[in-house]
Structure 1
């Protein structure tokens, strides 16, 4: 610990944002990175606890106290080496991870947690600027061939680890660019896609082959999923050509809201709005769905809903209202009760602050109403929660004006066809059935077919996808070689 009294002397300094009037004019990132000096001071706040709960709070088990201390001492190159030892893509997590590590920070018991996420971003951004992030090709090849289906964070992490172990890795992606929902589900103002592109270049230099526009298993995609598939590869082809297959697709089937008026023009899944917008920013055709001059209602209070809010403001929406079926959580959690676990509390995103966002809690959607086939409003009812049971409040119906509704209520399971094509058993939620512990972890019931990330665990965080991709890579390496030097 570089500064034993740092947590007493220094206050938490959060990253600053560009002013709202400026940032909503574009889709560029607007979070201002900490300076080297600011990051060093924030690193000094780390207490180097006897039991660093942040390590366990972080799904990839980042060695957080170590790189906090290295940043405090100005040893940035060593800091990125420690950070990369557990996390292949800290520039992703440093931007879009909700930071469960900070919730678990010991300092968070009775003060403000160490700004772990902002320090992480400062380390990796400096590492790229200084040219410290370089390809790490394997010293020797094993002659084994591995197919990775899906190029999101789980697939990318698995592919990079396996390539560094000496295997020949081919990544199959159904869309026209690499990244999965990291590429198309997250707006550029939260994470610019050049960050993915430079990692792809690094992985290609390490021997990874990327094949885009390829659907594995079945050509027909469920409604609401946009892709650019030009080729179909069967499960039998992959099993015949490769020594192992890693299924690392996302959980992309959106949860629907089958109420009267669902068919009206103007009611869309969130991804029907967000994916074309990211494509437009990348230089493709304009987004066919516009929120300009519209009263927008976003149904769903999570990150995807927040992304719809921020994108709607950039379109020039007249108003934005966000619905959440659950009651409003407390503004401050009971730390004595929740620490070191992730607390339920009121969270206001940067997108909410970009306009006069109206946030409605304990509200249910009864009907979408419209004229001449076009949406004009949403009929709602207030909900009462008691003993975990929900009931409607009599006489509380209300109509919110709306020309656009975006359904952002989460995702239920992987796209149809892929798991069936491989004959992989599913769990009760429709995900690939595979364990994460013991012998044969991440292996499915089908010989040499493994599953990791959202396709196995269901909708989750980018940091969990990276963790599972890394762990699955080790399991595959052990399966092929009998032992592995890859970290778990």
Structure 2
């Protein structure tokens, strides 16, 4: 333990982010970091409790509690308090292949289950994690570590998102020759295309990809399995295939009148077009979907919708509003219906909401809102969006029912509508070509912890297996799938 009374002596603190009105003028990361002394003080708040729920990684009431990659959080908190940074990095690297990603974009379920949170504010775990890995890169501790011996076995990984990268990293450590196939022009999956640069700068993603390449992982870009190379051909060329293609089939909004109007786009098309144009030429080509001078409506209250809000602000939108069917969260945790160590459902302003509030004077979110129809102009462009307020209740069968509230109809000006209502599962090309079994949600059917499909030597992990989820679950599944592939190829495994 750092200090037995640290959680009583010191208050939880977070670094002050860049000013919202300044950061919306650029596409750079908005976080700032603490000094070493401040980090040591925050590390001192860790209780090193007997049962550290922060690294349990279990699901409670539909959300994750603790860290799915089982980070040894109390241990590296203590090491930071003692000033042992390299040892803290070595501890962190034992469980997490990519802390530079999770330290930036993970929602930190570890903090939601921190024992200090029972009587006060949780330890600033995420901030310390990012500080450790950033220091490790600055000091040159993160270097390529190719395996000393190769097994002669070849593994194909389809998809270069966090699940695919974690799978490849672990299998490469075991000595297998790993090739990652990615249909985009850059590797990284949603880390590269999907998460805006202000949350995760792309040179950080590329740095890790370059490191994996230096360790022997091969990347084949601009190549879609099932089209450029058939799925059957892939099975012939490799001893095992791991599918990590994500859950990229966007859920449509086709049941809403007027959905075919121009100016209505899937959220990922909007985000990806901006990210690609920014990386290619700093948004000079004008090929992206722009929110400049537009009334922007984002339908969907999740992280993707929030990223659309932040992107629209940087485009120079006229206004931006984010709709959610969920009700506004309480200011404090409901200890009866949302007890510790569940992830706390409380009202917060995410980075994009802070920016919109600073610019327009209020939270851009509209809660408990249902979109009824879109109305267009004479040229087929969307110009209005009609909504109604709703209330949600659970019926006797446990189903969530949405009931419209009479008299709450509203008309919103809308020049650009971004649909961020989730994903239906993986795209079907590989699934159909290989005859893979799927579950009721159309995800590839493979048991958690085993990852084997109904087709010999084909494994599935990450969102393609579990559906849309968190980056930490993707890394967890990639690491575990690698262990099972190694066992399949070699008869036993030393991978964790």
Q: Residue 288 of structure 2 corresponds to which residue in structure 1?
A: 288
Q: Residue 180 of structure 1 corresponds to which residue in structure 2?
A: 189
Q: Residue 274 of structure 1 corresponds to which residue in structure 2?
A: 271
Alignment of 1:331-480 (within 5 A): 331-335=331-335, 337-355=338-356, 356=360, 357-372=363-378, 373-387=380-394, 388-437=400-449, 441-480=450-489
C-alpha offsets along residues 432-472 of structure 1, whole Å, 9 cap, x if unaligned? Answer: 100123xxx11101000000000000000111000000000
Give the Cα separation in 2 of the matches to 1:196 and 1:156.
11
Give the Cα separation in 2 of the matches to 1:351 and 1:146.
40
Give the Cα separation in 1 of the matches to 2:467 and 2:489.
27
TM-score by length of 1: 0.95
SS at structure 2 position matched to 1:31:
coil
Q: Residue 313 of structure 2 corresponds to which residue in structure 1?
A: 313
Give the Cα separation in 1 of the matches to 2:388 and 2:473.
36
What is the aligned residue count?
Answer: 471
Q: Which among 103, 106, 124 is matched to residue 97 of structure 1? A: 106
Q: Residue 304 of structure 1 corresponds to which residue in structure 2?
A: 304
SS at structure 2 position matched to 1:364:
strand
Q: Residue 124 of structure 1 corresponds to which residue in structure 2?
A: 133
Unaligned runs of 5+ in 2: 57-65, 395-399
Give the Cα separation in 1 of the matches to 2:339 and 2:319.
35
Alignment of 1:190-205 (within 5 A): 190-205=199-214
**1:14–1:115 CA contact under 8 A, matched in 2:** yes
Asked if residue 42 in structure 1 is aligned to residue 49 in structure 2, the reply is no
**1:277–1:286 CA contact under 8 A, matched in 2:** no
* Shift of residue 21, structure 1, vs aligned partner: 2.2
Q: Which among 142, 147, 150 is matched to residue 151 of structure 2? A: 142
Unaligned runs of 5+ in 1: 220-231
C-alpha offsets along residues 343-402 of structure 1, whole Å, 9 cap, x if unaligned? Answer: 322232011111234311111101111102111110111112234422111222110111
**1:109–1:335 CA contact under 8 A, matched in 2:** no
Alignment of 1:4-23 (within 5 A): 4-23=4-23
Q: Residue 252 of structure 1 corresponds to which residue in structure 2?
A: 248
Q: Which among 142, 148, 157 is matched to residue 133 of structure 1? A: 142
**1:155–1:248 CA contact under 8 A, matched in 2:** yes
C-alpha offsets along residues 154-189 of structure 1, whole Å, 9 cap, x if unaligned? Answer: 000000110111000000001000011111110000
Give the Cα separation in 2 of the matches to 1:288 and 1:158.
32
**1:276–1:286 CA contact under 8 A, matched in 2:** no
Give the Cα separation in 2 of the matches to 1:206 and 1:195.
17
Give the Cα separation in 1 of the matches to 2:344 and 2:21.
32
**2:182–2:221 CA contact under 8 A, matched in 1:** yes
* Shift of residue 255, structure 1, vs aligned partner: 1.1
SS at structure 2 position matched to 1:102:
helix
Give the Cα separation in 1 of the matches to 2:153 and 2:364.
55
Alignment of 1:52-131 (within 5 A): 52-56=52-56, 57-131=66-140
Give the Cα separation in 2 of the matches to 1:404 and 1:18.
28
* Shift of residue 25, structure 1, vs aligned partner: 1.0
C-alpha offsets along residues 235-276 of structure 1, whole Å, 9 cap, x if unaligned? Answer: 111111100000011101111112111111111110111001
**1:7–1:46 CA contact under 8 A, matched in 2:** yes
**1:273–1:287 CA contact under 8 A, matched in 2:** no
* Shift of residue 314, structure 1, vs aligned partner: 0.3
SS at structure 2 position matched to 1:126:
helix
Q: Name the Cα RMSD after superposition.
A: 1.1
Q: Residue 230 of structure 2 corresponds to which residue in structure 1?
A: 234
* More moved, 284-293 vs 65-74: 284-293
* Shift of residue 200, structure 1, vs aligned partner: 1.1
Give the Cα separation in 1 of the matches to 2:215 and 2:290.
41
